[in-house]
Amino acid sequence: MGKATRENSSPAPFAAEKLRTAGLRPTRQRMELAAHLFCGDDRHVTAESLHDEVARAGIKVSLATVYNTLHQFTAAGLLRQVVVDAVRGYFDTNTGDHQHFFLEDEGTLIDIPGEAIQVAGVPAAPAGMAVDRVDVVVRVKRT
Amino acid sequence: MGKATRENSSPAPFAAEKLRTAGLRPTRQRMELAAHLFCGDDRHVTAESLHDEVARAGIKVSLATVYNTLHQFTAAGLLRQVVVDAVRGYFDTNTGDHQHFFLEDEGTLIDIPGEAIQVAGVPAAPAGMAVDRVDVVVRVKRT
DNA sequence: TATCTTCTTTAGAATTATTCTAAAAAATGT
DNA sequence: ACATTTTTTAGAATAATTCTAAAGAAGATA
């Protein structure tokens, strides 16, 4: 059955390709983080939450590397940053057109599909400026 | 002409009333900050920017007091916080229904009247949650 | 006005999220 | 394997904000 062991089995074969395409060397840390980020459904993480998560999975990656990686992935278009909270920075694996609910009590984000929501009447951007993105945050609180 | 001097002339008579109504003692610092915030047009400030501004006007208020006051004013409904930037916190003197342009290059906010812009298709809030506010941020960049 | 009580201010320490630094480790090319 | 370029990382550094405890005002009262 070959020599696949816990040590040499790659956690997510697709990750290497994804990283290469993005112009990033497929290092162990980046592979592990990519595996956690891009394997299942879309998700929202903070540097800290992702770091905790991989740590609990027994993977050793420094927090600095998590920050670096999140930013590199964002620059490569693999992630998108969401600004909803003054204290924490969130990263979203869904880079398509969509918006968010933000549960203020828990600090949780929930995607709202882009087709669902429409923003009308945005005035022309100030002179010399172009619209980069329109972000909608629906802040909700426990009833 | 009475005995109005630089020392006893109140910088903004309306401020005292405004503060009392909000349940806040009209202290010198709060009066000065209110005068700067609520005298002219609507504006957007950060703790640091407001602190610098009053300092340049020769007024001595500690940064901690600026933070306290901005939060107290916000709790009293005199200000509203705007989350657009991961590093800095902004406060808006316009507490009515409106949205914002955010000039990412300069870190500047510009109001968009609430009547101008409409958001349609917001899904129902998650169970047990109620919509607190819908924020729209139109991020613009230099062309 | 003198006094008491309560609320504010403040300097500076503390906290928190994030970035920086410089050196060790890993990846890639030859 | 060797040389070169990237990465990773621990820990220091930064920056915004909050906390602390003590001194200073405000308001109420006698």
Match 């909803």 to its residue by tokens. Answer: A84
Q: Residues B124, B128, B130, B136: is their CA dihedral positive or negative? A: negative
For residue B43, what is the domain's CATH number? 1.10.10.10
A12: pLDDT confidence band, cut at 50, 70 and 90?
Answer: low
Please give, chain by chain, protein residues whose CB is below 7 Å from any atom of strand D: A 24-25, 27-30, 60-62, 64-65, 68-69, 86; B 25-28, 46-48, 63-64, 67, 71, 87-89
User: Does B119 fall in a domain?
Assistant: yes
What is the mean predicted confidence (pLDDT) over A6-35?
Answer: 81
Do A35 and A14 contact (CB within 8 A), yes or no? no
Q: Verify that B77 and B105 share a domain, yes or no.
A: no
Does B64 lie in the same domain as B23?
Answer: yes
A89, A133, A140: residue with CB nearest B129: A140
- Separation of CA A139 and C1' D21 in angstroms? 37
Digit-coded pLDDT (tens) for B102-136: 999 999 999 999 999 999 999 999 999 999 999 99
ipTM score: 0.89
Is residue B62 domain-shared with residue B18, that is, in the same domain? yes
B102 and B61 both lie in a single domain: no
- A3, part of any domain: no
Q: What pLDDT digit, counting tens, does each position of B42-81 carry? A: 999 999 999 999 999 999 999 999 999 999 999 999 999 9
CA distances from B125 to A104, A125, B59, B60, B98 (A): 12, 30, 46, 45, 21
Q: Kindly state whether residue B4 falls inside one of the protein's structural domains.
A: no
For chain D, which bases have at least one atom within 7 A of a protein Cβ? Answer: 6-11, 15-20, 25-27
What gap in Å lies between CA A20 and CA A36, rounded to an integer? 17
Q: Are residues A57 and A117 in the same domain?
A: no
* Measured distance CA(B60)–CA(B64) in Å, rounded: 12
Q: Write the CB contacts of B37 (distance below 8 Å, at least 6 apart in sequence).
A: B43, B45, B50, B73, B78, B79, B93
Domain end, chosen from B34, B53, B82, is at: B82
Question: Given this model, what pLDDT does residue A15 score?
Answer: 84
Burial status of residue A74 (CB atoms within 10 A of its CB: 0-12, 13-18, 19 or more): middle
Which nucleotide in the DNA or RNA is closest to residue A62, CA to C1'?
Answer: D9
Count of domains for chain A: 2
Range of the domain at A109: 96-140
Could you tell me the distance in Å between the CA of residue B11 and the C1' of nucleotide C5?
29
DSSP, residue by residue, B23-86: T----HHHHHHHHHHHSSS--EE-HHHHHHHHHHTT----HHHHHHHHHHHHHTTS-EEE---S
Is A6 contained in some domain? no
What is the structure's pLDDT at B40? 86
Cα A53 to its chain centre, rounded Å, is: 14
B25: closest CA of chain A, how far (Å):
28
Same domain, A42 and A68: yes
Give the pLDDT mean for A49-57: 96
Residue A90 within any structural domain of the chain: no
Looking at the fold, whether B75 and B109 belong to one and the same domain comes out as no
Output the distance from A45 CA to C25 C1' rounded to whole Å. Answer: 28
State in Å, rounded, how far the first CA of chain B is from the last one: 55
Domain co-membership, B22 together with B72: yes
Note whether residue B3 is domain-resident.
no
Is residue B132 one of the residues assigned to a domain?
yes
Q: How far is B108 from chain A (nearest CA, A)?
A: 12
